[in-house]
Structure 1
């Protein structure tokens, strides 16, 4: 009887472990094309990750975000956008049209990435935090470690508290 219970307990624990991996909080990015309409409904800071498909550090940063417990818990405080800096899509943001500008045969960047990056060389990943009025509050070229992400989330929390 006890041996049967231990098998059932082991099976139950395995099932719980399996479901807990599926039930982790997910941070789903907002499409840049929807930001303006979302901001009209409820203005919040906008946190943008400029990245590319080929950038390994960008993929590492995205994976880190998915595992960062505070990022998922505080995701309601801001709009999180992952923007492919090489997107060939035309983008309309705050009444401004941004298009893809080729820099070679199969390469180029979207004007929005350049506008968000500011002057200087584009680095990937690049973090940009915009306030409720689309003004740049923070820019960082490179990967943010978990502690830096936590500090950025606390800063966003403080921004929200100061504008209430």
Structure 2
């Protein structure tokens, strides 16, 4: 009788541990595809946090890795849409009802029009962070890596934006 109860207890404990583990795994940050932003914004408007990056940029990879491990980012991820956009993507993108395309600058090189539009005037730098409000108005741009403290400050601003609305 005691052996049966211990097995049941152990089974219950294993199930609970599995659920806890799956909860932790679900906390991982999953960026929104830029092509889905307009439809998501129609369903529920939220601030947009965009990371412009490239595949070859080591600092971009480092920043993305830091984001995946950042508990504050995971905790606030439901109050904004997080988008990672490859500035050298060759995919056409419809954003705010306008079509943006890749513009070649040489053989096998070029940048996407949307990266330039989000970056604003000036030279593209990678990574670049852009924060847009619910009306797609740019509130913040930062060319370069955000430190954990800077990221925490940015997340606090995003949190206060959603609390005040």
TM-score, normalization: structure 1? 0.86
* Displacement of 1:21: 10
Task: Write out per-residue CA displacement over residues 15-41 of structure 1, whole angstroms, 9 at most, x where no aligned residue.
Answer: x7xx85993420000000000000000
1:81 aligned to which of 60, 78, 83: 83
Report the counterpart of residue 104 of structure 1 in structure 2: 106
1:55 aligns with 2:57: yes
What is the root-mean-square deviation of aligned Cα atoms in Å?
1.7
CA distance in 1, matches of 2:49, 2:43: 17
Report the counterpart of residue 45 of structure 1 in structure 2: 47
CA distance in 1, matches of 2:23, 2:126: 29
CA distance in 1, matches of 2:128, 2:22: 29
TM-score, normalization: structure 2? 0.85
Count of residue pairs brought into register by the alignment: 147
Unaligned runs of 5+ in 1: 1-15
CA distance in 1, matches of 2:123, 2:21: 42
Structure 1 runs of 4+ with >3 Å offset: 19-24
CA distance in 2, matches of 1:23, 1:153: 20
1:67 aligned to which of 56, 69, 88: 69
1:33 aligns with 2:35: yes
Unaligned runs of 5+ in 2: 1-16
Report the counterpart of residue 9 of structure 2 in structure 1: none
* Displacement of 1:99: 0.3
Report the counterpart of residue 137 of structure 2 in structure 1: 135
Residue aligned with 2:106, SS? coil
Report the counterpart of residue 94 of structure 1 in structure 2: 96
CA distance in 2, matches of 1:44, 1:98: 22
1:153 aligned to which of 148, 152, 155: 155
